[in-house]
Structure 1
Amino acid sequence: MAWYLVFDIGATSVKYCWMNEIGQISAFNNFSSEGKDGSSILESIKELILQNKDKVSGVAISSAGIIDSTEGKIIKSGAFQDLQDKHIKNWMGDIVPELKVTIENDGNCAVYAEKWLGEAKELDNFISISIGTGVGGGIFLNGKLYRGSELMTGEFGSIYTQSMSGTSKLNSISGIKGVRRRYAAYLGIEMEEVSGEEIFYKYGQGDYGLDRIVSDFYSGLALFISNLHFIINPERIIINGGITLSETFLPMLTSHLKLYGYNDASAICISPLKNRANLVGALYYHLNE
């Protein structure tokens, strides 16, 4: 059976694994990307590929940013400015010309993953929301991935939403980096000194000094989802990301949705692929491109 190296490039970490053509994952790992430039991340990826080039059948990459997947090019990368207009397929092709290399937007990868192995196998209209460093996702409409005229569909974090603290971009209050930044400012420390896991764990343990930050996280997300539901009217809204591993995530989100009149949350579910949806979808795109 063929095995592929699959990477998910995010602003906080790069996840990677071996995956076969039926989506089985082996040797899952990650390394930090926070504070690094894009070129150094690509060098780390190149090293991993070269170490395994004799046994890998192809390389599939999921990445944040606006991606022209047909050309294999990063058009815009908010987290890694030096990768703007970087032609990944050509760059990799010069290094390992014998290997097929693909790159796709991470939100679109999550959509493909749900359609292939997740909650949306039988659905023609659904939305995937990924909660990580920021908030992204993708839209599957009338049986097809909807990309938009400028390939920007699913850049949900740039939408303005409302919370108890006022009007903000969704990334600022419901992206994990925004949550970390607000908590660090509250404590008077550097953002790098706190993690999203630590914040939500402390809140769960009764640190109600975090009440406003956590409440804003859920209320901003709930208002966004409620509006999205009425605009698109999908069969399902599927949420993935590390935060969804918490048993309290969906009940907390549901209670905040009710504040906006969204009383039937049966269309909202957690992805069974958790925080590996982008990896799974990257391989799906690679196999079907």
Structure 2
Amino acid sequence: MINKYLIFDVGGTNVKYAIIDRSGKLIEKNSMVTVHSLNGFVSSLQKVIDYYQGSFTGIAFSVPGRVSHDDGKIYGGGSLPFMDKKSLTNLIKTDVPIAVENDGKAAALSELWLGNLKSTTNGAAIVLGTGVGGGIIMNHQLIYGSHFQAGEVSFLVNNSKRLSYDDLEGSSGSAVKMINDCAAKLNLNDKNDGKKVFKEINKNNSLVMPIFKNYCRNIAILINNIQAIIDLDKYVIGGGISAQPIVTQTINREFIKLRSEIPIIQATLSEPKIVDSKFKNDANLYGALYNWLLNMDSHLQAKK
């Protein structure tokens, strides 16, 4: 039996895909630009599936939006609104089992399975990308909530005086938006050139450091707000920008600064650890696979 799996990590900008075996060994990885139309998007996925046909036992997806495990549909779609109320299981043509999970929850599952939440009783993954993904682990279990939307931190309102998309955490906490803003300050032709942006951030360039520090403070405030409600031991920072050590370092500094500025927080709330994701930008791939494995185990148990 082939114990290899085709995994997709669908984002608003790119779709990563990989072949990973059951032990978590990454065999092959690639990416493509995300197509922002339903037919074009499904077609791009199908081409990859057809290319690897016969070399995998199952297909797993990590996607933006709320994923209902009752009906298999994606709700909202996040950065892919055309996927609202659509089911990838129904859209994709294949003979192997498919499992779909929300991107933030997939990131948390990857860390729970083989990463930096493996030995943590209560923790969370915060995924910094086009929006902000979140997944919560309580008593070594991923928390879904009553409607599979626990951890949807992108929808937190962070400006009570206005109510628009720009005032949601998914906008103010967007790593893509932060990079775009920094690139504009640097007059870069490519506003998505994260490598050049972080080269200047790591050089402490005064043009971009205020934008970057404000961004990290926003994430620190987000962590504080989550901590006040569910009291976790550890937060893992994921997403593409987490490959840059300065990101988690600066979030930690801003978190400590925030606590010192409001003494009652420091006196009352225990300080959690804030660490890098073990799998960085590949976390969703591993988490999507772990979700597939958990689903298959669940189905086997149900048949007994």
Q: Structure 1: where are the runs of 5+ without partners?
A: none
Equivalent-residue separation in structure 2 for 1:25 and 1:223 (angstroms): 34
2:181 — aligned with what? 182
Structure 1 residues 23 and 91: alpha-carbon distance in aligned structure 2, compared to 1, 3 A threshold: same
Task: Please list the CA deviations of residues 244-274 of structure 1 after superposition, one character each: whole Å capped at 9, or x if unmatched.
Answer: 2112222212211122116786621111111
Secondary structure at 2:120's aligned position in 1?
Answer: coil
Alignment of 1:254-265 (within 5 A): 254-261=252-259
1:246 — aligned with what? 244
2:27 — aligned with what? 26
Task: Please list the CA deviations of residues 162-184 of structure 1 after superposition, one character each: whole Å capped at 9, or x if unmatched.
Answer: 7xxxx943233331122134345
Secondary structure at 1:259's aligned position in 2?
Answer: helix
Alignment of 1:71-90 (within 5 A): 71-90=71-90
Task: Please list the CA deviations of residues 95-144 of structure 1 after superposition, one character each: whole Å capped at 9, or x if unmatched.
Answer: 22x21111111111111111110112223311111111111111112332
Structure 1 residues 12 and 130: alpha-carbon distance in aligned structure 2, compared to 1, 3 A threshold: same
If the length of structure 1 is used for normalisation, what is the TM-score? 0.88
Structure 1 residues 269 and 156: alpha-carbon distance in aligned structure 2, compared to 1, 3 A threshold: same
Structure 1 residues 235 and 206: alpha-carbon distance in aligned structure 2, compared to 1, 3 A threshold: closer
Q: Is structure 2 residue 114 aligned with structure 1 residue 117?
A: yes
1:64 — aligned with what? 64
User: Contact 1:130–1:136 at 8 Å: present in 2 too?
Assistant: yes
Secondary structure at 1:248's aligned position in 2?
Answer: helix
Equivalent-residue separation in structure 2 for 1:258 and 1:69 (angstroms): 38
Task: Please list the CA deviations of residues 145-168 of structure 1 after superposition, one character each: whole Å capped at 9, or x if unmatched.
Answer: 211223222221222347xxxx94
Greater Cα shift, 6-15 or 78-87: 78-87
1:193 shift after superposition: 3.2
1:50 — aligned with what? 50
1:137 — aligned with what? 134
2:282 — aligned with what? 276
Q: Structure 2: where are the runs of 5+ without partners?
A: 160-165, 261-265, 296-304
If the length of structure 2 is used for normalisation, what is the TM-score? 0.84
1:27 shift after superposition: 1.3
User: Contact 2:176–2:192 at 8 Å: present in 1 too?
Assistant: no
1:209 — aligned with what? 207
Greater Cα shift, 111-120 or 254-263: 254-263
Structure 1 residues 228 and 120: alpha-carbon distance in aligned structure 2, compared to 1, 3 A threshold: same
1:231 — aligned with what? 229
1:154 — aligned with what? 151
1:32 shift after superposition: 1.4
2:3 — aligned with what? 2
Structure 1 residues 177 and 250: alpha-carbon distance in aligned structure 2, compared to 1, 3 A threshold: closer
Q: Aligned pairs, how many?
A: 280
Secondary structure at 2:213's aligned position in 1?
Answer: helix
Structure 1 residues 205 and 282: alpha-carbon distance in aligned structure 2, compared to 1, 3 A threshold: same
1:52 shift after superposition: 1.9
Q: Where has structure 1 moved over 4 Å in runs of 4 or more? A: 184-190, 262-266
User: Contact 2:127–2:237 at 8 Å: present in 1 too?
Assistant: yes
Equivalent-residue separation in structure 2 for 1:272 and 1:136 (angstroms): 16
Greater Cα shift, 135-144 or 102-111: 135-144
Equivalent-residue separation in structure 2 for 1:186 and 1:82 (angstroms): 32
User: Contact 1:71–1:89 at 8 Å: present in 2 too?
Assistant: no
Equivalent-residue separation in structure 2 for 1:217 and 1:160 (angstroms): 16
Equivalent-residue separation in structure 1 for 2:116 and 2:179 (angstroms): 30
